[in-house]
Structure 1
């Protein structure tokens, strides 16, 4: 049965590539959360589960549960930087659930961990916006050609989402080739 016009072909390997990218982004700020909540393993467990899927594991209930647990950890964190770091971990585990729908909102599954990680770094550096931009640039360099290829199948990142949304759009723009001049 052919895919509908609003569906995007995604292989399990595509999902693994996206999840590996998201896990690598989230790892960069895990210490921000762990400094705030050293006895809470949930964000680390989400990143570990994301890496397990990326390296050939199954996409199942355990992976989804770690994403939800990291989100709950974000709610219990004492600082906004720690909350964003936990959201990055949640997004890393959630990346495995990228839907094959041609909707801009799906880009958050690909780039959400990078956006939340950049915001966590920014907040940890006393709201210094250059820190967020530097984190975005590092994420651009971290992305493999396979991640870029998957991203380009989707529309550009949607508007909104506050500062995290801005960082996601910066990351999106950095990974797509420039539009041809008219």
Structure 2
């Protein structure tokens, strides 16, 4: 395993695969945000920008700006579930900016959208952790070997991060060695 100062080789296709997986995860919970804030398109715009990149589009200012806008939408969300749904959208856009450094925090770029999505569905279900665990299992089943290949280049997910961090680590542990 590489140390924190080691550089990891990432291709543009690797970044597109990771971003596609993140966009799928965020898309699954977008309606949670949109039900709470029907006039706010920022999370949808971030997911759309992530999909555009995943399908071959540019990784530039528009993608980065859409991610930051979704982050602002999360901060102003009326409910915790809507906030996590918007953070999933922000994480989808941020996935395109996975850094090629062997730093455990980079795992958040790969799996953060899925972890925030799991937390959003947990909260909608009355903070039912079984619902979050079931969601993690669903996103584990749809991961591709390309995403696993990228994930395994990085150290395991870092400690901390509250419940979202727990969900992130649960998914990380479930995915390593799967393929």
Structures share fold, TM-score greater than 0.5: yes
Gaps of at least 5 residues in structure 2 are: none
- Extract structure 1 runs of 4+ deviating beyond 2 A: none
CA apart distance, 1:138: 0.8
**2:43 equivalent in structure 1:** 43
Gaps of at least 5 residues in structure 1 are: none
1:12 and 2:12 are equivalent in the alignment: yes
Classify the secondary structure of the residue corresponding to 1:127: coil
Matches within 5 A, 1:11-160: 11-160=11-160
Spell out, residue by residue over 1:133-172, the C-alpha distance to the aligned partner (whole angstroms, 9 max, x if none): 0111111112110000000000000000000000000110
CA apart distance, 1:27: 0.7
Classify the secondary structure of the residue corresponding to 1:143: coil
TM-score (norm 1): 0.94
How many correspondences in the alignment? 175
**1:165 equivalent in structure 2:** 165
TM-score (norm 2): 0.96
The CA distance in 2 between the partners of 1:142 and 1:50, in whole Å, is: 18
**1:174 equivalent in structure 2:** 174
The CA distance in 2 between the partners of 1:123 and 1:151, in whole Å, is: 27
The CA distance in 2 between the partners of 1:59 and 1:5, in whole Å, is: 24
Q: Is the 8 A contact 2:5 2:101 kept in 1?
A: no
The CA distance in 2 between the partners of 1:141 and 1:118, in whole Å, is: 14
The CA distance in 2 between the partners of 1:135 and 1:17, in whole Å, is: 20
